[in-house]
Amino acid sequence: MGRHKEAPSKPRSRASGEPKPPPSQGRGPGGKAVLLPQARGFAARLIRWHKRHGRHDMPWQNTRDPYRVWLSEIMLQQTQVATVVPYYHRFLSSFPTLAALASAPVEEVMALWSGLGYYARARNLHACARTVMADHGGEFPRDPFVIASLPGIGRSTANSIATFCFGAQAPIMDGNVKRVLCRAFGIDGFPGGGAVEKRLWALAEELMPKRDGDIYNQAQMDLGAMVCTRSKPRCDTCPLADTCIAKAGGRTAELPARKPRKVVPQRDATLLVLLHDNRVLLETRPAAGIWGGLLSLPELPAGSDAAEWATRRFACRILAVSPAPTFDHAFSHFRLRISPLLIKVEPGLAAMEPGLTWLAFDKLESAGLPAPVRRILESLYASGNKPLDSRKR
Ligand code: SF4
C-alpha cells in the first residue's frame, strides 16, 4: 500500500457541527460551555445598584397604570427625560385616560405633541388608543406579544409595559441598554440592527432574571443614562466595573460602535408665509410624509413662481413678497433646507377651503406646528413682520 498524506485536521468549527455558545457563555477547558464572568450575577448587581442609586421619582414611575407607562415609553423614544416631562404632564391633563385620548380628534393630539418631533409617534399613539378601545374593551392587553401588535409599539416597548405593569419578566432594548451590554460584554459592531441587535436580544433574554424584572429593566436604563454614558462613563462608580470588557481593554470610546456614516441627502423646500392682517395661512399636511397631519406653511411646488402659484392656488391678490433667511432642519434620513418666502396678500374666499386655516399670530402657541414652522412664525412675530416692507410688487 502506498503512503498517502493525510489531510491536516482542521480545528473543529461551528460549520462542522459544533453549536455556537449562547451569547452569555464562552468555552472553558476542554471546550466546555461556561458562563462568562460578565454574565455572572449581572442582574443581581444591577438590581442592588438601582435600589441605592437609581432613579425612583420620575413622573411615570410608581404606577402600574399601562396608559401612563405606555405614554412615557412612547414619548421617551429618541427624546431626553427633561424634554419629555412637561409634555407628559400637559398630555395627561388634557387626556387623563386612554378613553379620553381615543375619543379626542387627532388634530388635538398632534397639537399637544407639537415640538416633541417624530410625529408618527403621536399618530400611532392615537391609533393605538382607538385600537385598545375597539378591540380590547378599553383594557391594555397583558401579553407582550399582543401588546407588540398594537400600532406604534415594538418589542422593547411591549416588554417594558408588560414588565412594569403586569409583572412579566421580559427584556428591553433601548439605546441605554445596548450601550451597557456592548461595553460590559465587549460586543463589536453597530448595535442598531441586523446580526448585532439579534445577538443583543439573545443575550438580554439570557440575562433576564426570574423576578424583579421591572427593577432590573429600570436599572439598565438608569445605568446607561447616569453612569455608562456615551461620552464620559463613570466606570469608578459602576457595579459592572470588575468584569466589564470595555473598561478592562480601554475601549469605552469605541463601544458601542457608531452607526456607519453615510452622506445625508439634502432636500429643498420653499415655504410660503402668506400674511394678512396679523394672520398667517396654514394648511394641514397630508397624513403620510413629513409633518403628517400637522398644520404647516404651504410648500411651493418645485420650479413654480411663488406669486403666480399662490395667486392661483389661494385666489388671493399679492401685495408684497420678501425672502426670509434660509436654514436647515435635520430629519433622521435627510436634511431639509428651508427657504421661507413672506407674501403679504389680500385673501380671496378660496383660501377658506377645507384644510386651510388663517391663524392669528397670538394663537401660535396652541397650534400643532412642526418645530421649523414654529421657528419661522415666532421669529416673524417677534420682529413685527418688518421684512415685508422691503420689496413691494
Ligand atoms: S464599567 Fe464603565 S464601560 Fe463598563 S458598563 Fe460600567 S460604566 Fe459602562
pLDDT tens digits for 197-221? 999 999 999 999 999 999 999 999 9
Regarding whether 137 and 49 lie in a shared domain, the answer is: yes
User: Which residue type does 361 have?
Assistant: F
Q: 235 CB under 6 A from ligand 1?
A: yes
Q: What is the CATH number of the domain that holds 54?
A: 1.10.340.30
The Å distance, Cα 180 to ligand 1 centre, comes to 7
Regarding whether 290 and 235 lie in a shared domain, the answer is: no
Q: 244 CB under 6 A from ligand 1?
A: yes
Contact 215, 47 (CB under 8 A): yes
Just list the catalytic residues: 73
Place 384 in a pLDDT band, splitting at 50, 70 and 90.
Answer: low
Place 35 in a pLDDT band, splitting at 50, 70 and 90.
Answer: confident
Distance of alpha carbon 8 from alpha carbon 15, whole angstroms = 17
pLDDT of 392 > 90? The answer is no
Regarding whether 165 and 217 lie in a shared domain, the answer is: yes
The pLDDT, as a whole number, for residue 328 is 94
Regarding whether 82 and 125 lie in a shared domain, the answer is: yes
For residues 18-26, give the mean pLDDT: 74
pTM higher than 0.85:
no
Weakest mean pLDDT among 3-7, 171-175, 357-361: 3-7
Report the nearest-CA residue for atom 2 of ligand 1: 235
Q: Is residue 258 part of a domain?
A: no
Count of domains observed in the chain: 2
Regarding whether 189 and 65 lie in a shared domain, the answer is: yes
Cell output for 313: 392656488
Single out the residue of 334, 221, 211, 332 nearest to residue 267, CA to CA. Answer: 334
Domain residue limits at 353? 266-389
The Å distance, Cα 239 to ligand 1 centre, comes to 8
Single out the residue of 46, 42, 39, 76 nearest to residue 59, CA to CA. Answer: 76
Distance of alpha carbon 89 from alpha carbon 178, whole angstroms = 28
Q: What percent of the chain has pLDDT over 70?
A: 92
The pLDDT, as a whole number, for residue 97 is 97
Q: What are the tens digits of pLDDT across the range 51-109?
A: 999 999 999 999 999 999 999 999 999 888 999 999 999 999 999 999 999 999 998 99
Q: What is the CATH number of the domain that holds 369?
A: 3.90.79.10
Contact 380, 273 (CB under 8 A): yes
Decide which of 248, 276, 296 is a domain's last residue: 248
The Å distance, Cα 237 to ligand 1 centre, comes to 9
Regarding whether 213 and 71 lie in a shared domain, the answer is: yes
Q: What are the tens digits of pLDDT across the range 284-314?
A: 988 888 888 889 999 999 999 999 999 988 8
Regarding whether 243 and 128 lie in a shared domain, the answer is: yes
Average pLDDT of every residue of the chain: 89
User: Which residue type does 219 have?
Assistant: A
| Radius of gyration, alpha carbons of the chain | 27
Regarding whether 206 and 156 lie in a shared domain, the answer is: yes
Regarding whether 361 and 300 lie in a shared domain, the answer is: yes
Q: What are the tens digits of pLDDT across the range 235-266?
A: 999 999 999 999 999 999 999 999 888 888 99
Decide which of 217, 248, 279 is a domain's last residue: 248
**What phi and psi values does residue 337 have, to the nearest 5 degrees?**
-90, 115
